[in-house]
Structure formats: structure tokens, C-alpha cells
Structure 1
Amino acid sequence: MKISIHKINELRKITGIGVMDCKKALIYSKGNIDDAIRTLRKKGEKIAVTRSSFHMKDGALLSSINSNYSCGTIIGISCETDFLSKSSEFLYFLSILSKHSLLFNNKIDFLHSSYDKYETIQKMIINQMGIVGEKLELKIFEKINAPFVINYTHHTNKIATLVGFSNKINDISVAKNIAMHITAMNPIAINKEKIPRSLINEEIEIFENQIQKKNKSDVIKKRMLQGKIEKFLSENTLLNQKFIKNNEISVQKYLDKYDKNIKINIFKRINI
């Protein structure tokens, strides 16, 4: 099977693995990137667990919250060039849409809503296309509601996060620090119970492949497998991760230091 240079480079960008290993993995997986990553991980290559992300060639994200911290949105607009995605004009347009998006629960209602002189947001986007000379499209619309919601957008506008808490947080910096942690550390779920069983089973299969190559007894291999599973769960669940601003404590302990009664209900982290 012939594998394109573009696909090999794409896999290299994700994994940091050499060209020939990437090519072999893609041939083995018949060109499927996700399967190729699993193949490389089974061989023992150190690659982060793949998470779903939105594939936009160019564009930007922005998260916003309403004035009483009860809801938040993440919206993403695609464009044709990296230059436009970083321009102040494009980001200002995105900020207008982001604030307006807080009034709606889904992408369709938002696009069909009116704004200022425009009959619909969709027509507003079309008008903006004529101004910037590139195709623009609303690719991402995510919303969460909770007793207290905080947001964080990375300065590149390529990652945006929302976090919903069970109670009001008076010290905004505590909530913001957790949102920044999620942005940086990209957890899969809030806790171990929220990780899909199918993903755990997939990781177990990868770990078993790695351990089979070791010249160890079955008892030691079983112990190694359990250790790898526990490490995977602790490193990929938000509450068990080491807090980014203090590696001596977990995110759970950081939150408990502020208020043991506050829980994290939900989070959304989008990257492009």
C-alpha cells in the first residue's frame, strides 16, 4: 500500500516518531492515523493518548461566560489562512459572535438568530466573508450550564476550556486556575468512573502488548500491568492529575483546600 508523504508527516507531527516507523505503522494500519498510533504505542513508543479534536485547517476558538457565571460557550470559526486567523479584525469578529452565542443553546438556533442589522448570524458571517475575502464557517458551538461556570482561552486561540462547578466560587482565581490546568493537561474525564470502559480496554490491550516483550514471570507481568493501568487512570483524570501550579498536590486536593463541598460537574476542552 502506498502511503502519501502528507499522511506520514501528519503522523510524525502527532507522535514525534521517525519517518520510517511512521510509514511502517501506516502501512500496517492501511493508512488509518488512529490505528497507526495504536500500533506504535503497542511497540512501546511513548505517545500521549489521542483525544478527539476538531480538524480545522485554520481558524480560531473563543470561550465566553455570562455575567452571573451560570453558563458558557466555546465557538470556533474556520477561515482559509493562518494569517487571517491571527488578525485583530478576525478575532474581534469572533468576540462579537462569542458574546451573542451565550443567549442560545445550540448551533442552529444561534446561526438563525438576528444580530444588529443582520437578519441572521449566518448572513452576518457571509457579509464578513466579503470583507475579508476568505470563506468563513461556524465549525464549533459548545455550551455548558452549571451553578458556577468559568472559562479560559489560550492566547493562541487554538484551545478553549469551560468548567462547571457545583457551587458558587467567590475566589475567581481558584476556578480560573482549574480551567488553565485543564487547558494545559488535557484530561480525558473528571474521575476514573467517567472514563469510557472501551478506552480502558483499549489501553489494557496496548499495555499487554508492551509487557509481553519483557522477560519477566507472569506474576511480575500482572503486577506491571496493574501499575500501568493505575498510572494511566491517575494521569488522565482531572481530579487525580498533579496540579499544574503545585506538583505536590492533586487537583482534588487543590479544590479541597479552598472548599471540600465544591465539586466539578462538567468540563469541555476544545482544541483545533
Structure 2
Amino acid sequence: MKISVQKINELRKITRIGIMDCKNALVHSNGNIDKAIRFLRKKGEKVAINRSLYQMKDGAVIASVNFNYCIGTIIGISCETDFLSKNSEFLEFLSELSKQSLLFNNKIDFLCSSYNEYGSIQEMIVNKMGVVGEKLELKIFEKVDSPFIMNYTHNTNKIATLVGFSDKINNISVAKDIAMHIAAMNPVAINEKEIPNSLMNEETEIIEDQVQKENKSKSNSIKKRIIQGRINKFILENTLLNQKFIKDSKITVQEYLNKYDKNLKINIFKRVSI
């Protein structure tokens, strides 16, 4: 099977693995990116789970919350060049749309909504295309409702997060710390119960393959203990409340929250990266 350079580069961007390894994985997987990633991980390659990467060649994302911190959105606009994605005028335009997005529940309603002299948001985007000379498209629209929401946008505008809490938080920095932690550590779920079964089954299969290849001479009982140990490690490293807190690795995120309020819960989070 012939694998295109574009497909190899796409896999390299996700995995950070060498060209030939990516090509071989894609050949083995008939060009399927997800299967190629699983193939590489089963071989023991250190590939992070790609949980929230949107397929935008270039562009930017931004997270916003309303004035009383109970509604949040993440929107992302694609463009044609990395140069434009970093342009201050483009980012100001994205910020302007982001504030407006808080009034709507979904992407279609948002794009069709009336806005100033350009008519709709979609018409506003089309008008901006004439100004910047590149194709622009609203690719991402995520919305969160919760008693208290905090937003965070990384300074590159390539990662944005929202995190919803069970109650109001007076200390804004606590909420901001959690939103920043999510951006940095990319958890799959809030806790073990919320890990999707499909992901847990896939990870278990990958771990079993790795252990079988690495420990051929060991007994089955030892292999089972190693497998369970790695599964437990996966859960601890990939669930938000069990992760080591980014600002203090001696405590978990749950322990950090407990210092502020033991009754405070995290209801939901969104993380978008491009």
C-alpha cells in the first residue's frame, strides 16, 4: 500500500516518532491513523494518547467565560498559514467572536446569529477573509454550563480549556490553577469511573501486548501482576483528580482541591488542542 507523505507527516505530528517508523505503522494499518498509533504503542513506543487534537492545519483557539462564571465556550478558527494564526488582528477577531459565542448553545445557531453591520457571524467571517486574504472557518465550538466555570487559553492559542465546578469559588486562582493543569497534563477523565470503556479496553490490550513481548520468560502470574500494575498507573496518570498537581508534584489535584474546600467537586472539563 502506498502511503502519502501528508499522511506520514500527520502521524509524525501526533506521535513525534521517526519517518520510517510512522510509514511502517501506516503500511501495517492500511493507512488508518488510529490503528497506526495503537501499532506503535503496542511496540512500546512512547506515544501520548491523542485525546483532543482537532485536525486544523493552522489556526487558533480561545476559551471564554461569561461575567458570572457560569457559562464557558471554546471556539477555534482555522486559517491557511501559521503566520496569520499568530497575527494580533486575527487573534483580536477570534476574541471578539468568542465573547459573542457565550450567547449560543451550538455552532450552527452561533454562525447564523445576527451581529453588527455584517449581518450574521458567518458573514462577518467571510468579510474578514477578504481582509486577511485567507480562507477562514469556524472549526470548533464547545460549550460548558456549571455553577462555576474557569477558562484558560495557552499563550500560543493552540490549547484552550474549560473546567466546571460544583459551587462558586471565591479564590479565582484555585480555579485557574486547575484549568492550567488540564492544559498541561491532558487528562482523559475526571476519575476512573468516567474513563470510557472503549479507551480502557484499548489501553488494557496495548499493555497486555507490551508485557507479553517484554517478559516472555516470566510466569503468567507475574505477567498478570505487571499488567495490573501498569493499568493502575495508567488510571492514576490519566485521571484529573489522581494526577500529580502541576504546581506541586507532592500532592494530587484532589488533594489540592481539598486544601481549598473538601466539598468542592469538578463536574466537567473540556480541553481542545490543535
TM-score by length of 1: 0.97
**Which residue in 1 is equivalent to 2:133?**
133
Measure, in 2, the Cα distance between the counterparts of 1:183 and 1:156.
12
Measure, in 2, the Cα distance between the counterparts of 1:88 and 1:44.
42
**Which residue in 2 is equivalent to 1:22?**
22
Measure, in 2, the Cα distance between the counterparts of 1:262 and 1:18.
44
Q: Deviations over 1:65-107 (max 9, x none)?
A: 1111111111111111111111111011111111111111111
Q: SS of the counterpart of 1:268?
A: strand
**Which residue in 1 is equivalent to 2:235?**
233
Measure, in 2, the Cα distance between the counterparts of 1:6 and 1:217.
44
Partner amino acid, structure 2, of 1:264: I
Distance 1:12 1:127, change over 3 A: closer
The correspondence of residues 92-103 of structure 1 with structure 2, limited to 5 A, is: 92-103=92-103
Once the 2 structures are TM-superposed, how far is the Cα of residue 43 of structure 1 from its aligned partner? 1.3
Once the 2 structures are TM-superposed, how far is the Cα of residue 18 of structure 1 from its aligned partner? 2.7
**Which residue in 1 is equivalent to 2:207?**
207
Q: SS of the counterpart of 1:61?
A: strand
Measure, in 2, the Cα distance between the counterparts of 1:9 and 1:270.
21
Q: Is 2:243–2:253's contact at 8 Å kept on the other side of the alignment?
A: yes
How many residues align? The count is 272
Measure, in 2, the Cα distance between the counterparts of 1:92 and 1:60.
11
Once the 2 structures are TM-superposed, how far is the Cα of residue 233 of structure 1 from its aligned partner? 0.5
Once the 2 structures are TM-superposed, how far is the Cα of residue 50 of structure 1 from its aligned partner? 2.2
Q: Is 2:146–2:267's contact at 8 Å kept on the other side of the alignment?
A: yes
Q: Is 2:84–2:90's contact at 8 Å kept on the other side of the alignment?
A: yes
Give the share of equivalent positions with the same residue, in percent: 72
Matched, 1:149 2:143: no
Measure, in 2, the Cα distance between the counterparts of 1:90 and 1:13.
24
**Which residue in 2 is equivalent to 1:165?**
165
**Which residue in 2 is equivalent to 1:77?**
77
Once the 2 structures are TM-superposed, how far is the Cα of residue 2 of structure 1 from its aligned partner? 1.7
**Which residue in 2 is equivalent to 1:123?**
123
**Which residue in 1 is equivalent to 2:196?**
196
Q: Deviations over 1:129-181 (max 9, x none)?
A: 11111111111111111100110000000110001000001000000000000
Once the 2 structures are TM-superposed, how far is the Cα of residue 4 of structure 1 from its aligned partner? 2.3
Q: Is 2:52–2:271's contact at 8 Å kept on the other side of the alignment?
A: no
Once the 2 structures are TM-superposed, how far is the Cα of residue 52 of structure 1 from its aligned partner? 3.5
Once the 2 structures are TM-superposed, how far is the Cα of residue 123 of structure 1 from its aligned partner? 1.0
Distance 1:173 1:241, change over 3 A: same
Matched, 1:63 2:84: no
Matched, 1:251 2:253: yes
Once the 2 structures are TM-superposed, how far is the Cα of residue 17 of structure 1 from its aligned partner? 2.4
Q: SS of the counterpart of 2:117?
A: coil
Unaligned runs of 5+ in 2: none
Between stretches 12-21 and 260-269, larger displacement belongs to 12-21
Measure, in 2, the Cα distance between the counterparts of 1:2 and 1:141.
35
TM-score by length of 2: 0.96
Measure, in 2, the Cα distance between the counterparts of 1:73 and 1:236.
23
Q: Deviations over 1:173-205 (max 9, x none)?
A: 000000000000000000000001111111111
Matched, 1:268 2:250: no
Q: Deviations over 1:34-69 (max 9, x none)?
A: 111111111112211221421111111111111111
Partner amino acid, structure 2, of 1:68: N
Unaligned runs of 5+ in 1: none
Measure, in 2, the Cα distance between the counterparts of 1:108 and 1:51.
24
Once the 2 structures are TM-superposed, how far is the Cα of residue 114 of structure 1 from its aligned partner? 1.3
Q: SS of the counterpart of 1:117?
A: helix
Q: SS of the counterpart of 2:258?
A: helix
Measure, in 1, the Cα distance between the counterparts of 2:50 and 2:84.
28
